[in-house]
A and B are shown apart, each in its own frame.
Chain A
Amino acid sequence: MKLTLKVWRQQDAKSAGKFVTYKVQNVTPDMSFLEMLDLLNENLQNQGQAPIAFEHDCREGICGSCGFLINGVAHGGHRGTTVCQLSMRFFKDGDSLTLEPWRAKAFPVLRDLAVDRSAFDRIIQAGGYITAPTGGAPDANAILVPKDSAERAFDAAACIGCGACVAACPNAAAMLFTAAKITHLNSLPQGQPQRDQRTLDMVAAMSEEVFGSCTNHGECEAVCPKKIPIEFIGRMNRDLIHATLHHRGK
């Protein structure tokens, strides 16, 4: 099949960007979306033009490197799928697609479709961990974890840190990302000692990174490739209220 792509091209963070239109031919339904872009990039290079920069690595939907907007929808809108796993059989001959990078002040564009997501690492640094220096751990079965807590912790820990939630949110909020990590750690017995401080610190770090706030649009959940539910934001807010009151009482 043949496609028309309107792609955001931007040399670096300081330059202005613009859309450039490309035609791609010989796309087959068994390609992935990124293999279609590989094909376009091969053609561009053979014509002496710079290939389109986009981030990717594992190409099996787990590393979280890839992601951009396809016709305005993060990861292309196929539920539970990253762009690297998005198959071209969902597109048809003659389709016209617009590709642009995540749009958020906290994620500056580095080049073309690649953005800087280091703000996520800084949120984790603020409290997204359980302090357990190597070597001092008790026997693993000394800590009993109820199965439902373990399951909820896992559901939250499945986040791949791709940033689609931020890109989809009209406020560019990182609430789903932050709430997922807080829910993961706050659901476990091992996470209780640092529960309040973790919640306060991570929420504060999120605000410092110029992310917006949640106004319940639910776009984040809709595009999340790991189907992380918006319910976790509610849990985070509950823990935040608890931690704030508890903190004030001290």
Chain B
Amino acid sequence: MLESKIPSGPIEQKWEKSRFDMKLVNPANRRKHSVIIVGSGLAGAAAAASLGQQGYQVHCFSFHDSPRRAHSIAAQGGINAAKNYRNDGDSIFRLFYDTVKGGDFRAREANVYRLAQISVNIIDQCVAQGVPFAREYGGLLDTRSFGGVQVSRTFYARGQTGQQLLLGAYQALEEQVGCGSVMMHTRSEMLDLVVVNGRARGIITRDLVTGAIESHCADVVVLATGGYSNVFYLSTNAKASNTSAIWRAHRRGALFGNPCFTQIHPTCIPVSNENQSKLTLMSESLRNDGRVWVPKKKGDNRPPGQIPEDERDYYLERRYPSFGNLVPRDVASRNAKEVCDEGRGVGPGGQGVYLDFADAIQRLGEAVVREKYGNLFDMYEEITGENAYKVPMRIFPAVHYTMGGLWVDYQLMSTIPGLFVAGEANFSDHGANRLGASALMQGLADGYFILPYTLPNYIASSSLEKVDTSHPAFAAARVDVNKRVAKLVGIKGKRTVDSIHRELGKMMWENCGMARSAASLESNLERIPALREEFWNNVNIIGTGEEYNQSLEKAGRVADFLELAELICVDALQRAESCGGHFRVESQTPDGEAKRDDEHFSYASAWEWKGEGAQWELHKEPLAFEYVHLTQRSYK
């Protein structure tokens, strides 16, 4: 069932060889072929613009009012590229190596190598579009370094790199909309995938203003709908980010890859009140100069300034003398959780640790610290009301990114022929842990440089029958969608959608968050179906399906999270090893570090939906490491 379709030959030549082997569509024939792209973030907008330029009829869908709102916009730090402009030893092979190792050996080597190769073209493309990257005085591009690597390969646009890259793709997309090659469908949410004779041929959408349920047919469907961190309710994702598009496709037959691989970012602003709606990330770059500590004594409530030096525990520096505060994200997060579990956390509820800049300010002066991190200190003050130049910041880990997603082959096609998946929505390149500044790189690689080759190849090599929205498969899917909407608005129970979502999130965070055990996962597997039951019997959605109804939108998404949550726990339970962001307490070294088990778990899991009430079936894609040798990561 799982054919990864990795081309043969040496890894450096795989992508070039497969590009040559791919079939092409004559420019004059492209107008006859249509493409549906769901999502308009980096991957979706880049693909829509590029395929529009080639001459296909492209239909791009977004539930936002404009494609420019996609959550790619919130990425702060930067984008990696193996340009070696710094002459500091970077290369395509090194970026490939860092990414495979950083992902704790759970990604496909061939995909990662291609990503590193394409990274250099992405920067060229974005500069040509006018993305205002940071510059040196001579006019050349500036770069900086990021966590987990030893070269300076991260290109950036102040702290708003995601925004600027997205606007570049958005503008290219709008240019195509203006000249008629792309039709943009905004405020339009995909509620189902239509499969005709085994091939993805369309989608069913709901117009979020009028509530109209509509059918759209095409030769090929692309999902570029982002990640599912919001299954945890509190995350750094935007409020509307959801799993519904990929989940609906999963239910129609697309296998779900590595659902339990979620990334928890160590430096976020802690939860401050019970009505909190989302978490805010503070860039990882802060750990270059900030020192992380907690009091040595449990329950020490003194203000930080009154805790003398010898009563503080700089636990990262103590445990990891060679990497200190710059250990990778998963390690930093786990350690913060441990000290808080010991009762040494700081701030309200004891769920926080200090990130202290006092030493840096003394060493460099406040002006230098302000120049480097001023906007982050301002943002921190805006939210917490505290001045981090005077008192240490309080930080705590938060869910940030999901490495898992729909399983795809080397061509980015899912197990449903004609259904392609790009960006965070697929499972492909980051293994069990994503390195900083690699998400933007992957989204744009998929959209600008991979799909524009692999999609035409699919179109040219498949004999696609003539299908339109009058086909019975569309009618059947519309009936399903209408029934579901009617069912949701008809429940009229006692609880709001948010209250159930919060309960789910708490369960996932506590039992399937930074540390997971067989017992905690089994407890979730009992409680999640019960909560789902509660949702379908007791949720209250005011209003109807035929109007602008934000509660109904949320309800559909939470209903899907309630199913996905179960699969995440099932996957986490079967993977009885620790790797990257997935920490199973049963699998650790004597000194408490994550312990991988390559003998039994060197595979990507891909789960098949078997119908409501039935158990998923696990398929395994074995992972072979020919170029990067398997090692246990150590940061001591």
Which residues in A have some Cβ–Cβ distance to B below 8 Å? 11-12, 28-32, 34-35, 38-39, 42, 44-46, 48-51, 53, 55-60, 62-65, 81, 85, 87, 89, 110-111, 114, 116-118, 120-121, 124-126, 128-141, 143-147, 150, 153-154, 157-158, 160-161, 184-185, 188, 190-191
Contact = CB atoms under 8 A, between A and B. Distances in A.
Interface in B187-243: 209, 238-240
A89 to B, nearest CB: 6
B275 A58 contact: no
B133 A150 contact: yes
Contacts of A34: 277
Contacts of A111: 547-548
B125 interface: yes
Given A53-B550, A130-B171, A141-B83, 13 more contacts: A35-B276, A57-B238, A58-B73, A62-B160, A117-B66, A121-B174, A130-B129, A138-B128, A139-B124, A140-B126, A143-B127, A157-B157, A161-B66
B186 interface: yes
Contacts of B160: 62, 158
20 contacts: A32-B383, A42-B496, A49-B542, A57-B240, A59-B239, A62-B74, A120-B66, A124-B170, A125-B175, A125-B178, A128-B174, A132-B128, A133-B50, A133-B53, A137-B125, A138-B128, A139-B124, A153-B130, A157-B132, A157-B164
Contacts of A39: 275
B124 A50 contact: no
B94 interface: no
B172 A161 contact: no
B547 to A, nearest CB: 7
A57 B69 contact: yes
B224 to A, nearest CB: 15
Contact of B548 (A31, A62, A110): A110
A50 B167 contact: no
B400 interface: no
A60 B376 CA distance: 12
B163 interface: yes
Interface residues of B, number: 79
A57 B138 contact: no
B449 interface: yes
B14 interface: no
A63 B383 contact: no
B133 A63 contact: no
Given A50-B543, A62-B160, A188 B130 contact: yes
B239 A56 contact: yes
B551 interface: yes
B381 to A, nearest CB: 10
B515 interface: no
Interface string B512-534: 00000000000000000000000
A68 B535 CA distance: 32
B85 interface: yes
- Most A-side CB within 10 Å, residue of B68, B73, B132, B496: B132
B280 interface: yes
B480 interface: no
Contacts of A56: 239
A31 B275 contact: yes
Nearest to A30: B272
Interface string B119-145: 001011111111011111111110000
B171 A38 contact: no
A48 B64 contact: no
B280 A60 contact: yes
Contacts of A133: 50, 53
B65 A125 contact: no
Contacts, number: 210
Contacts of A143: 127-128
B273 interface: yes
Interface string B82-116: 01010000000000000000000000000000000
Contacts of A185: 130
B177 A125 contact: yes
Given A51-B550, A58-B238, A144 B174 contact: no
B174 A124 contact: yes
Contact of B71 (A30, A58, A89, A130): A58
Nearest to A112: B548
Contact of B130 (A12, A31, A50, A190): A190
Contact of A59 (B65, B123, B133, B278): B278
Contacts of A147: 135-137, 139
B448 interface: yes
Contacts of B273: 28, 30-31, 35
- Most B-side CB within 10 Å, residue of A46, A154, A160: A154
A30 B277 CA distance: 12
B402 interface: no
Interface string B145-181: 0000000000001101001100100111011011000
Contacts of A58: 71, 73-74, 238-239
B526 to A, nearest CB: 28
- Most B-side CB within 10 Å, residue of A35, A140, A150: A140
A118 B64 CA distance: 11
Given A31-B273, A57-B239, A157-B167, A45 B132 contact: no
A58 B138 CA distance: 36
Contacts of A140: 83, 123-124, 126-127, 141
Nearest to B131: A157
B504 to A, nearest CB: 16
Contacts of A12: 209, 547-548
B562 to A, nearest CB: 19
Contacts of B70: 63
A111 B543 CA distance: 13
Contacts of A85: 382-383
Contacts of B605: none
Nearest to A191: B130
Contacts of B177: 121, 125
A168 B172 CA distance: 29
Nearest to A39: B275
A41 B549 CA distance: 13
B157 A38 contact: no
B171 A129 contact: yes
A111 B167 CA distance: 27
B134 A32 contact: no
Contacts of B172: 129, 132, 134
B77 interface: no
Contacts of B415: none
A65 B550 CA distance: 14
Nearest 3 Cβ contacts at the A-B interface: A144-B139, A125-B178, A137-B128
A63 B238 contact: yes
B385 A130 contact: no
Contacts of A131: 175
B621 interface: no
B290 interface: no
A165 B141 CA distance: 32
B542 A51 contact: yes
Contacts of A29: 385
- Most A-side CB within 10 Å, residue of B139, B158, B240, B276: B139
B158 A134 contact: no
Nearest to A49: B542
A80 to B, nearest CB: 9
Contact of B385 (A45, A89, A120): A89
